[in-house]
Amino acid sequence: MRPVLRFFPLKNALVALLLVLLAGCFRTRIERRDVPVDTGVPLTLGEEGGTVLSWDFGDGSPPVVAAQVKKAFARAGHYTIRAKDGERLVWQIDLDAIPRPVTRAIPVDADWAVFTPSVKDDFVGSLDFFEDAFGASNLQGLIDGSVLAPLAIDSTALGRLVDPLEGLGAFTLPDADATVVLLGVLDEQAVLTELGQRGHAMELAEGAIGLELRDGSRALVFADRGYVFAVFPATAEDAASAMQHVRAADSRGLEQSAAHRALPSEPGQLVVLGAPRDKRELPIDVLWATLQVKGREARVTGELKSNDPLWQSQGQRPAALFAKAWEGPVAAVSLKLPTGLVRSVLDKRNPEREASRQRLLSHGIDVERMVRALTGDVGGLLWFDAEAFLRNLVDGTERPEPRGAALLEVGVSDGSSWELAVGQMLEVFLPVRPRMQQRQEGTVWSSRVFGQDASLSVGAKAMRLELGSGLKRRTLVDLSSQLAQRFDGAFSKGHASVLIDVGRLRAELETPRMIEGLDPVRVVTVQGFASAFLDRLTPLDHVLLDLAPTKDGGRISGRIVLREKVR
């Protein structure tokens, strides 16, 4: 038999097709987004000109009825967004919101940025270190002056206004003469209200407020994508420029920069990033440094990237100064400054500098020629004279006046310009003209300054200032080798190094000694008082910062060490 072919009527086929299409139209769109969104950054949902839907964002906020919406989540977490057409669920989106890193809130083209990645307990713990190191009043003044930092350490604001998982920082921009401080927050408007209540505030346009600070200066405060920013400008135009710059910046921020890509995975409690645009003043392509506090010590590590020969020629001229020097300095410096930075003091756009330049020029002193003769090489040493200090306390002014010796050497390319200018300045500004002599090393001026012997010599390639006393009892040593051995290569040739050694000063002050002509009991008593005064003045043991040469710049290392607390 031949097979029988059956055909559905045409109208049945059309009905079936219509049912399939309708099923597709009414099917709920389920979406799972694997890439988390940053808190504070608006997310666009829906289609402009599309069906008007009721959007429930799953965070407790009231639904929004619109075809297209923008939503920013204030807190980190998992959220389910549901969009309904009447009672019918049309679209469901599951996503995660994570705290927005402070590096994404800082514009990618910031010249300099310093920040702490979060304001959790470890940040507050590091503040205890800096309070001990630099004094409670100094730290509090810095915190209060930033406007936003007080909120970051206010336990009543953390978790209510401030997001403890987001960061606090400051940065500068290339197109605005201003410093900008920023803080990650949970409720932008509530924070602006809180800041307005804490200080004299004035409502401005575009959702910003103006704050008048205690010192009479002003700050512009505004919110953007989960962070509040405080701008400290030179002018009102700089403030407006900084706000526009921040609000127009890409939401990925510094994370697009080469400096950020160079950071280690766990950078530490405080981070510095730099990529200055003006390479004449600072020939640096990229700089990063991190600070980690542990107990009574803070360690600095970092890198400087640049092909400029400046960074390969550090410590060249001061090397001779350190190769044969008196042992036991309490401070030392050996570095070469960029000539562009040195010559920036001639910037005629600065009214105060220009007025000073003109005033000196009226006395025949050509500051511009003097500055252009500086090579940037600087070497310096400072010694403490404990015996002279104690003698003055016991049998002199009876005040804790500095006593010791200082040696400073500065490189010049043309000594003649300085020789003429120094002679003119000493004649104009000193009440008693110093004695002048011609020696093999150049012209030497000698006088008494602050009750101590002082001499200034100007040679063909260097100027040298010597001040004070107390070196005759010391031994000449290869100081560069001694310091390098103690501080992991610092002060070696090619290094740029700075040292402040309060521990050495404290040890010399407390060393038992007999001073000719003075009552030993009074000397011991005064030593005790002086040592206690020094402990109250600073708990620092030593501070060291070193830049070691590498083939593409330099390696940064350093430490701030506090004296152990006496139990």
User: For 182-235, where are the alpha helices, taking DSSP H only?
Assistant: 188-198
Query: Does 267 reside within a domain?
Result: yes
- Closest among 464, 551, 536, 478 to 502, alpha carbons compared: 536
pTM: 0.85
DSSP for 245-262 reads HHHHS-TTGGGGSHHHHT
Statement to judge: residues 107 and 94 lie in one domain: no
pLDDT at 57: 95
Last residue of one domain, picked from the residues 54, 76, 98? 98
Last residue of one domain, picked from the residues 271, 293, 315? 293
The total of structural domains in the chain comes to 3
The parts of the chain modelled with pLDDT lower than 50 are: 1-8, 18-24
- Closest among 391, 393, 343, 386 to 368, alpha carbons compared: 343
Statement to judge: residues 190 and 224 lie in one domain: yes
pLDDT at 22: 44
Range of the domain at 235: 102-293
**How far apart are alpha carbons 391 and 57 in whole angstroms?**
76
What pLDDT digit, counting tens, does each position of 494-532 carry? 899 999 999 999 999 999 989 999 999 999 999 999 999
Query: Does 300 reside within a domain?
Result: no
Read off the CATH number of the domain in which 30 is found. Answer: 2.60.40.10
Contact status, residue 466 vs residue 454, Cβ threshold 8 Å: yes
Strands 168-173 and 176-184 turn out to be antiparallel
Residue 168 CB-half CA count within 13 A: 20
Statement to judge: residues 39 and 106 lie in one domain: no
Statement to judge: residues 353 and 464 lie in one domain: yes
Contact status, residue 286 vs residue 274, Cβ threshold 8 Å: yes
Statement to judge: residues 156 and 33 lie in one domain: no
**How far apart are alpha carbons 138 and 116 in whole angstroms?**
19
Q: What percent of the chain has pLDDT over 70?
A: 95
The token pair that represents 327 in the structure block: 């042992």
Contact status, residue 242 vs residue 235, Cβ threshold 8 Å: no
Helices and strands per DSSP (H, E), number in the chain: 17, 30
Residue 271 CB-half CA count within 13 A: 23
Beta strands in 146-296 (DSSP E): 168-173, 176-184, 200-203, 209-212, 218-224, 227-233, 270-274, 286-294
Query: Does 353 reside within a domain?
Result: yes
pLDDT at 566: 66
Statement to judge: residues 154 and 256 lie in one domain: yes
Three-class DSSP category at 49: coil
Statement to judge: residues 123 and 192 lie in one domain: yes
pLDDT at 138: 86
Query: Does 301 reside within a domain?
Result: no
Last residue of one domain, picked from the residues 51, 80, 98? 98
Query: Does 20 reside within a domain?
Result: no
pLDDT at 6: 46
Query: Does 550 reside within a domain?
Result: yes
Statement to judge: residues 93 and 113 lie in one domain: no
Q: How many CB atoms lie within 10 A of CB 454?
A: 16
Statement to judge: residues 389 and 532 lie in one domain: yes
The token pair that represents 195 in the structure block: 């800041």
Query: Does 327 reside within a domain?
Result: yes
End-to-end CA distance of the chain: 112
Contact status, residue 370 vs residue 395, Cβ threshold 8 Å: no
What pLDDT digit, counting tens, does each position of 107-134 carry? 999 999 999 999 886 677 788 888 888 8
Statement to judge: residues 88 and 115 lie in one domain: no
Which own/partner pairs from 242-245 qualify as long-range (CB within 8 Å, at least 24 positions apart)? Answer: 242/173, 242/176, 242/178, 242/180, 243/206, 243/208, 245/107, 245/173, 245/175, 245/176
pLDDT at 541: 96
- Phi first, then psi: give them for residue 487, nearest 5 degrees: -120, 40
Statement to judge: residues 34 and 116 lie in one domain: no
Query: Does 6 reside within a domain?
Result: no
Contact status, residue 292 vs residue 342, Cβ threshold 8 Å: no
Statement to judge: residues 93 and 106 lie in one domain: no
Query: Angle at the Cα of 20 (from 16 to 22), degrees rounded to 5?
Result: 115
